[in-house]
Structure 1
Amino acid sequence: MNREDFTLCDYKLSLFRAEKADSPLIIFNQFSDEGEAAFLDLQKENYKDFHFLAIGNLNWERDLSPWPAPALGKEGDDFTGGGEKYLDCILSEILPLAKEKINGVPEFIGIAGYSLAGLFALYALYNTDVFTRVASMSGSLWFPGIKEFCKENAMKILPEKLYLSIGEKESKTRHPILKTMQENTEDLLKHFKSMGIETTYEVNPGNHFQDVNLRCAEGILELLQ
């Protein structure tokens, strides 16, 4: 396994280089190690060779939220809306360095993430044309205003492939915001399909915290098909 770990802008980066030149590059924002674990599982199954960049040590509520929003509960932190600034860091510093370290020119560059990182992956489409394939696994599409934002704004590029997933029990909650997740996801699914985007949607067993690594692997695999 050709792996290199480094730090940039206080983020911890793990780059797994493919053996084959010009292989696809997948960017994955992770909470702990769910992206890395999914990547290693895919490698064990000898799936298509690809470069994988896992980004960690994120301030979840700051870096991945598109705009400010209140915390979901008394013990949570407010979302401070640093998504645009963090995306700029990816585009101006992290991605150029990663491309210097890999062999050849990526066949395509995709972005993927779970939960709030899945929301960020979708948000990125409206701010850059760099990512041509996107996977949002159990993406936080309950986030206030995101459905309206996606419908009222134009993407910088229509992705070649878009993957959405959700756990079947994620919206079965009394929380007035979280309970909108499946409704919002399926509403946006229809919207994206109406735009002619090749979109795959999967409803997985369990709640938000079940089979995270497996769900991530399935989303990444879909981008590589």
Structure 2
Amino acid sequence: MMNRFTSFTAGPLSVTVYGKAGAESIIYIPQPEPVTEKVSFLTDEFPVLLASVDGMDWNGDLSPWPAPKVFRGEEDFSGGADGFADFLEQEVFPRESTFSEKPLHRMMAGISMSGLFALYMGTRKGSLEAIASISGSLWFDGFVDYMKTHGLSKLVKRVYLSLGDKEKRTGNPRMAKVEEATLAVQDILAGEGMDVVYQANRGNHFVHGDERLEEAVRYLMTGKMWKGPHSV
């Protein structure tokens, strides 16, 4: 059952918020695919708002620095993540005051490139309390080395990482490093004392998206792992 609370636009972005009045937390989900609506039932179980964010430039706004494209016909990664993070803080997050009388615990759950962005934003800004990177593009050139020298904000208390067990089986040599990179990021964060977990799922990239998002939301809200039918 869909629990749409409100929607608004900010520049090129359209934001749809699911949940109910009186929520204590909000999870931003920068993801153009309609997976957020499919897990909106979680707002009946938890005092949380789920905010689907659409309209960003996938290879531009979500990439931390310039890098070559990975597929023919795409644009190169332009490295606009800093500007996008600034825009979220200046134009999107302040809207929370219009649908909540009290400050909300703010989190982010990203998928693929937005999973990469969520972690990157966590190193650049102090506005997120928990982060989920679902099938995150942590293979991105230089990202593991970046994480070795740039810690997450002290405000971040919890990090969830997940990956499909077939995602590393790709002919693209850059993307084939995704599992190695994800586990390396887990080790880096654990070494810094971060509450971080890694969850493996069956399947490739962009499959069972709603189930993977549900697993992430449940962890962010409870700190406990929940296994869906496609978990390893």
Counterpart contact for 1:62–1:80, Cα < 8 Å = yes
Tell me how far 1:181 sits from its aligned partner: 0.2
The question of whether the paired residues in 2 share the 8 Å contact of 1:12 and 1:57 is answered with: yes
Q: Is the 2:122–2:128 Cα contact (8 Å) retained in structure 1? A: yes
TM-score scaled by length of structure 1: 0.93
TM-score (norm. length: structure 2): 0.90
Instruction: Tell whether the 8 Å contact from 2:30 to 2:114 is kept in structure 1 after alignment.
Output: yes
Q: How many Å separate the matches in 1 of 2:128 and 2:199?
A: 21
Aligned counterpart, 2:38: 37
Match of 2:48 among 47, 50, 59: 50
Q: CA deviation at 1:205?
A: 0.2
Higher RCO structure, 1 or 2 (CA under 8 Å, sep 6+) = 1
Give the 3-state SS of the residue equivalent to 2:124 in structure 1: coil
Which aligned pairs between 1:1-225 and structure 2 lie closer than 5 A? Answer: 1-20=3-22, 23-38=24-39, 40-43=40-43, 46-106=44-104, 108-157=105-154, 159-225=156-222
SS in 2 for 1:125: helix
Percent identity between matched residues is 29
Distance 1:160 1:198 in 2: 6
- Work out whether residues 133 and 162 of structure 2, in 8 Å CA contact, stay in contact via their aligned partners in 1: yes
Contact 1:29 1:35 survives alignment (8 Å):
no
Q: What is the alpha-carbon distance in structure 2 between the residues aligned to residue 87 and residue 30 of structure 1?
A: 15
Q: Deviations over 1:176-197 (max 9, x none)?
A: 1011000010011111111111
CA contact (8 A) 2:13 2:54 kept: yes
Tell me the distance in 2 between the aligned counterparts of 1:102 and 1:16: 13
Q: CA deviation at 1:123?
A: 0.3
Q: What secondary structure is seen at the aligned counterpart in 1 of 2:163?
A: strand
1:185 aligned counterpart, secondary structure? helix
Deviations 1:106-147 (A, max 9, x none): 1x2111110001000000111111101100000000100110
SS in 2 for 1:126: helix
- 5+ residue gaps, structure 2, are 223-232
Using the TM superposition, give the Cα deviation of residue 104 of structure 1 relative to its aligned residue in structure 2, in angstroms: 2.0
In structure 1, the residue matched to 2:226 is: none
Q: How many residues align?
A: 220
Q: Quote how far apart the aligned CAs of 1:75 are.
A: 2.0
| Counterpart secondary structure, 1:156 | coil
Amino acid at match of 1:8: A
- Please identify runs of 4+ aligned residues in structure 1 that moved more than 3 A: none
**Is the CA contact 2:36–2:50 (under 8 Å) kept in the aligned structure 1?**
no
3-state SS of paired residue (2:45) = coil
Contact 2:30 2:53 in 1 (8 A): yes
Q: Which amino acid aligns with 1:87?
A: A
Tell me, yes or no, if the aligned pair for 2:30 and 2:52 is still in contact at 8 Å.
Answer: yes
